[in-house]
Structure 1
């Protein structure tokens, strides 16, 4: 009699396996559909088994944010402050684009997780070692806002494939707001663009980021202070 091949033993459940499965599941079905029960089914365990590794769904979401932030690359050794910050922010953007739910979850947290705090601390450190005062660093971080984590709410957020006809304003609105109409039509009908019709989100993100970083450097060289700025108003 032929002996049946025994099934390979299942990998033991641990926190890392739970988080990797949760991130992959959210990537596949969306964060709204993620639940402890669905995650348990994915892992082939009973829901109660998950609670040995995460206390509840909120703790799970915090840990998922930690996992995504952990994907952000460190800057290349020896980089100047501007290159280091730029590389760090663009790596954060790449990490969040790889997990479309992550920005929404980060915004929903009541406070930054330890990994987010460590990331922010590293960026602040890049400014400080680059010769920025605490004052200028404070205002630079405010100016960057959510862009520091690679996402921002754009003014003209028309979706992935804007329809040029839908982008056009009704004639009465175009007459009332001619500059808005001009800009909307230019973005929608730029047929010569190498990225096709509409705005290229990555290009627009990098454009704004570079403007900010160049402006920060100009202020640093000027020895700008917020006290001096207010005194001159």
Structure 2
């Protein structure tokens, strides 16, 4: 695994279970985040995973925020970005789907991206291509930026919704128990529901692009 960014300070040290350097620290943090979520990623926990003391980590990463940024670099570097397409719909579909696929694996990354405003500079080529596609579709100025933001809001919002979707949540029990005589449309929707919400991402993305790319 390659980690973007400047090289860590100091010489790698042999501690506990293996070589202690920035790459090992970020790899351990990613493993914890992928299995237990980002809140479980603490300097103490990562030190335990690596068999060293927490202070040893600070030779290589400044603090937890810096570690999270390193983790986001790895996620961004792992996005399977498709070749450019001159067709705006194909270009946007490919870019947004690629990011969605990466974040579906590293779903822990969604909250720091949207709630904390963190990001990786490695995502800038994707943003530039998405904006270029919107430009070629005829959007300019504030409209172009507003549509660009709306598309990413859909990607992130869908990931939050599907990741936290629980088959027997309190909200779902409430909806299923809604009396059909009082809420007939809700009851009909419950009857017709099927599959996991994540399955709807491709079709809903196209519905969104139908409106975004409609002739003006």
Q: How far apart, CA to CA, are the structure 2 residues paired with 1:169 and 1:67? A: 44
Q: CA deviation at 1:95?
A: 0.9
Q: Is the 8 A contact 2:95 2:126 kept in 1?
A: no
Report the 3-state secondary structure (helix = DSSP H, G, I; strand = E; otherwise coil) of the residue aligned with 1:66.
helix
Paired position in structure 1 for 2:7 = none
Q: How far apart, CA to CA, are the structure 2 residues paired with 1:81 and 1:73? A: 18
Structure 2: where are the runs of 5+ without partners? 1-13
Residue from 81, 85, 93 that aligns with 2:92:
85
Q: C-alpha deviations, 1:145-171, integer Å up to 9, x for none?
A: 42345844559x752578xx9452242
Paired position in structure 1 for 2:139 = 132
Q: How many residues align?
A: 198
Is residue 71 of structure 1 aligned with residue 78 of structure 2?
Answer: yes
TM-score (norm 2): 0.75
What's the Cα RMSD here? 3.0
Residue from 164, 177, 194 that aligns with 1:169:
177
Residue from 31, 41, 55 that aligns with 2:62:
55
Report the 3-state secondary structure (helix = DSSP H, G, I; strand = E; otherwise coil) of the residue aligned with 1:67.
helix
Q: C-alpha deviations, 1:171-227, integer Å up to 9, x for none?
A: 2xx32222122212221xxxxxxxxxx343233222221011122221xx32xxxxx
Structure 1: where are the runs of 5+ without partners? 1-8, 188-197, 223-233
Q: How far apart, CA to CA, are the structure 1 residues paired with 2:165 and 2:103? A: 19
TM-score (norm 1): 0.70
Residue from 31, 40, 48 that aligns with 2:47:
40
Q: Provide closer, same or farther for how the CA distance between residues 34 and 205 of structure 1 changes in structure 2, counting only shifts above 3 A.
A: same
Q: Is the 8 A contact 1:36 1:50 kept in 2?
A: yes
Q: Provide closer, same or farther for how the CA distance between residues 213 and 48 of structure 1 changes in structure 2, counting only shifts above 3 A.
A: same
Q: Is the 8 A contact 2:110 2:159 kept in 1?
A: no
Q: How far apart, CA to CA, are the structure 1 residues paired with 2:157 and 2:123? A: 12
Report the 3-state secondary structure (helix = DSSP H, G, I; strand = E; otherwise coil) of the residue aligned with 1:101.
helix
Q: C-alpha deviations, 1:124-155, integer Å up to 9, x for none?
A: 23322454323432231233242345844559
Q: Provide closer, same or farther for how the CA distance between residues 18 and 151 of structure 1 changes in structure 2, counting only shifts above 3 A.
A: farther
